[in-house]
Amino acid sequence: MRKLLPLIAMLLVFLCGFVRADSLSREEINDLFSQGKALFREANGLLEKNPASAKDYYHKAALYFERIVKEGQIRNGKIFYDIANAYFRMGDVGRAILNYKRASQYMPNDLNLLQNFEYARSRRVDKIALKEEAMILRILFFWHYDIPTEIKFYIFILFFALIWICAGILLFFKLPFVKIGLIVCIVFSGVFLSSLTVDFISDSMRNQGVIITGEVIARKGDSDAYSPSFQDPLHAGTEFQLIEKRDAWWNVELMDGIQCWIPSRDAELVKID
Amino acid sequence: MKRCRNCFIVILLYAVCTAAFTQSDRQIRVEAAVEKTRVFTGESFVYQIQVQGSDKVEAPDVSAFTDFDVTFLGGDSRNTTMISQDLNTGKVIQNIKYGYVCQYRLTPKRAGTLIIPEVMVTVAGKNYMTRAIQITVSEPEEVGDYKFRINLSKNKCYVGEQVKMTFTWYFSQNVRNVEFNISFLSDSRMSFETAVEKKDPNAKYYTIPVGNKQVEAMYGSGSLGGKSYNILTFSEILIPGSIGTINFPKATVSFEGVSGYRKVRDFFMGEVNQPVYSRYVIPSNAAALSVRDVPSAGRPFTYSGLVGRYTVSAAAAPLEVSVGDPVTLTLTLKGPAYLKDADIPDLNKITSLTKDFKIPSEMASGKITGNTKVFTQTIRALHDEVKQIPVIEIPYFNTASGKYEFARTQAIPLKVNPARDKVTIMDLKGEAAPSEMGREVEVWKEGIAHNYEDMDVIINRPLGAAVIAANPALIVVSLLLMLGYVALVVIFKFKLFGLAGGSAVSSKKYHSGLLKVLKSVPDSKQTTEEICGAILEKLRQYLGSKLNLNWQSIVFKDVEGALMEHALDEDLVKKIGLLFKDCESVHYAPGLFKRSDVDELALNAIGTINLVERNFK
């Protein structure tokens, strides 16, 4: 054991080193956020008079916010929402939709996000309807899709705790309303536990992605030698589900269920590793 | 002693590793680099400011690059971590190299030897200078297979008049990596609007970047100087903002075009011709536009700067009001294709309107719909003799006739009743509380909502399975509740600690045991004596557990009083007594009851026992 001590110490030191290399301090994150906010406001002020300059400022704001995500290891709905807004203002609908999708993982029912996301989607060139069965599932299991994982977890814990409290009370007093409460708690905790299990296992956003370049010719195979899949190219903001990766090409399924191949450089996945 | 030695090793290792990467922090170097040093006018290239030793870089000031159009391409950290092992000592050393790169796209504005000046870069609070870089810029020249032409719809125009500018690129060889550079699109003396034209269904369109925007260019074929070419063409609407002659600097298009072919051997096809691409930068022709001011002679005092040919129509609602009530007046201006800057005169300057109506000084900017711009204003009748909203005249300068002319609305009949109540100054100023006739507030669906700026934005939120890891306390609390329940059940089940609640659990068990015996009577192969003995035993166990008595010696007399105390009515207690008596009789005096009597006894006993269970308190 004593011989292992120096080895463990060394490991700890390296871990510290890695943490330092990848993450920013709290002060640095605060600074980046303040500067990003200031740039965004500056851009808003310039938008009417000097759109080109405003665009530069929005770009800088987006870069500052992205540093918070990449180097500060901060992940939440609001930061992705702010990044998306900056890209949208720059006219980059692809990256705007990508970041709105990232934000929706954390706060799927935020009204501002829903409004902006919907508006950004309305501005993209390609209009691709959602698969009918997917729409039905979204309506039937609205709680699964519309409530963030974190909130579902809290609800589950609440009902799970209430189950044991109700069961404990019933050991002493046979109160009918407690019995009903127990059944309700069992049903709700079961529903939310199932939803959480699906979230954890499927990780639904893992393979979702968005096209981020202005135009990309989708093809029937994984090289330029294959014929285009559609008469027109796909455009920025088109959402897809990644099916398979082959070198620099991705086999993707569009929201209407049609599959095609696109170069991986033209798209980005919602999930950030 | 050994513990001290281990601590020393830990401290030493930490010191070595910390020193390794703090050393790398100290050496800060700032360099400037360019993609190429020989370019053509209008050909853009990448300029980088590279910082080594730190990633805490403030945005450099590049405003001194006056000979270039500058586009910021972004800045990015270039931190690298290297782990190495010393072969002699076996020590592992971690070395982090910090770095940062800012990128710009520079486009030279003129030919000659240009200098990219030194740039001051602030890194971690200290200032560093980059070196100046010399760039040789040549004038681009036309090549036979490639031409670039600019055409204006007219060479003379008035300030504010819309002129169509068409850009056509002619090429007769295969091309790739095309980039248009049109520096005057950002000239402050004029503004440009994207031309919206009817699309040719047989033509092919491509969206291409031009300046800071994307334009839709038509691909087709055309001829120039008697030679046929492929063409890529797009148009912009130019609106000059100041007078004088505008000599447009030459625009350029840079691309890689086929300059020849070479023979290569292909595995399948044998010897084939493979195109050789060369980089070209082709200049446009020179273009000039003479911009005149609109004449001052005869300029109406309500003239709002409209140039072109316009018509206007008016609508009002409601058409019957009381004095002081708001009337929404809508003016629809129709004119040339691009109405972004088109404005109507201040309605307060139109005397025919102000003598009968109160008009707020503020007016919402118009909303463009197709080739019309709609302005709305709330007006209020000052007296009940008003019969109509008069004709409103909008002056404009007609470039075709070279004169000021008027677009006129039709008069709108209006019925104005006497004031409903006293009309106050506030009403007439338009500052009174909204009337019942005010319009509903309608949600505007265009645009995006505000950014989030609270500190929640920089708080990390778990996602997926990480949610569980982030809330261990909740998990522990809920598991403790579950274990608590299990503990309670165990305690009661095994009657540990003699808790009163234990009888509740065991009496439940004996209740179901008794019912089981009673229900099995009709199918039982036992004798009546044995059946009644079993019922009696279970009944005693049940009542013993209910009343906390030793069940083995229970007789009815022992439980009669206690059952009454637990809120059971007299009839029910009597039934229990009868059950006791019958069972004892059969058990102790066999042959007294027939089998069918015992079945009936068991059937009745089920109801009695259930009543006891339900009413026992």
pLDDT in tens, B405-419: 999 999 999 988 887
Q: How far is it, in rounded angstroms, from Cα B501 to Cα A168? A: 12
> What pLDDT does residue A185 have?
93
| A54 vs B contacts (CB less than 8 Å) | none
d(CA B103, CA B78): 13
Cβ distance B303 to B394 under 8 Å? no
pLDDT tens readout for residues A136-191:
887 888 878 888 888 888 899 999 999 999 988 888 777 888 889 999 999 999 99
> Which tokens sit at B219?
């691909």
- Smallest CA–CA separation between A112 and chain B, in Å? 6
pLDDT band at A8 (very low <50, low <70, confident <90, very high): low
Residue B436: the pLDDT is 46
pLDDT of residue A260: 93
Task: Pick the residue of B25, B76, B478 with the most A CBs within 10 A to test the interface with A by mutation.
Answer: B478
Quick one: closest CA in A to B477, which residue? A161
Alpha carbons A254 and B483: distance in angstroms, whole number:
48
**What's the confidence (pLDDT) of residue B90?**
66
3-state secondary structure of B165: strand
Share of chain B above pLDDT 70, in %: 85
Distance CA B193, CA A55 (A): 17
pLDDT for res A87: 93
Q: pLDDT confidence of B290, banded at 50, 70, 90?
A: very high
Is the CB of B77 inside 8 Å of chain A's CB atoms? yes
Indicate whether A135 pLDDT > 80.
Answer: no
DSSP, collapsed to helix, strand or coil, labels residue B321 as strand
Q: How far is A123 from chain B (nearest CA, A)?
A: 10
Residue type, B5: R
Residues 463-482 of B with CB under 8 A from A: 463-465, 467-468, 471, 474-475, 477-478, 481-482
Angle subtended by helix axes B528-547 and B556-565, to nearest 10: 40
Q: What is the pTM of this model?
A: 0.42
pLDDT at residue number B445: 62
Return the SS3 of B240.
strand
| Encoded tokens for B130 | 């980059």
Q: A172 to chain B: which residues are within 8 Å by CB?
A: 501, 504
- Which range (A115-124, B59-68, B580-589, B604-613) has the least confidence? B580-589
Looking at CA atoms only, how far is residue A59 from chain B in angstroms? 8
- Please classify residue A204 by burial: count the beta carbons closer than 10 Å to its beta carbon, then call 0-12 exposed, 13-18 middle and 19+ buried: middle
- Check residue B443 and give its pLDDT: 60
Instruction: Kindly give the pairing relationship between strand B326-334 and strand B372-381.
Output: antiparallel
Residue B228 scores a pLDDT above 70 = yes
pLDDT of residue B494: 61
Q: Is the pLDDT of residue A114 over 80?
A: yes
ipTM: 0.74
Query: What's the average model confidence in pLDDT over B124-151?
Result: 88
Report yes or no: B205 and B219 within 8 Å, Cβ to Cβ: yes
Kindly calculate the radius of gyration of chain B based on its CA atoms and give it in whole angstroms.
48
Please say if the pLDDT value at position B511 is more than 80: yes
d(CA B561, CA A236): 86
| Residues of chain B contacting A120 with CB distance shorter than 8 Å | 448
- What is the structure's pLDDT at A160? 92
Sign of CA pseudo-dihedral B566, B571, B576, B577: positive
Q: What is the mean pLDDT of residues B269-290?
A: 85
Chain A closest-CA separation from residue B215 CA (Å): 12
Contact A17 B17 (CB under 8 A): yes
Contact list in B for residue A17 (CB cut-off 8 A) is: 17, 21, 81, 94, 96
Shortest Cα distance, chain A CAs vs residue B598, angstroms: 33
Decide if A209 contacts A267 (C-beta within 8 A): yes
B449 vs A5: CB contact, 8 Å cut-off?
A: no
The per-residue pLDDT for range B319-342, each reduced to its tens digit, is 888 888 888 899 999 888 788 778
CB atoms B451 and A29 under 8 Å: no
In terms of Cα–Cα distance, which of B308, B334, B297 is closest to B159?
B308
Residues of A in Cβ contact (< 8 Å) with B6: 2, 5-6, 9
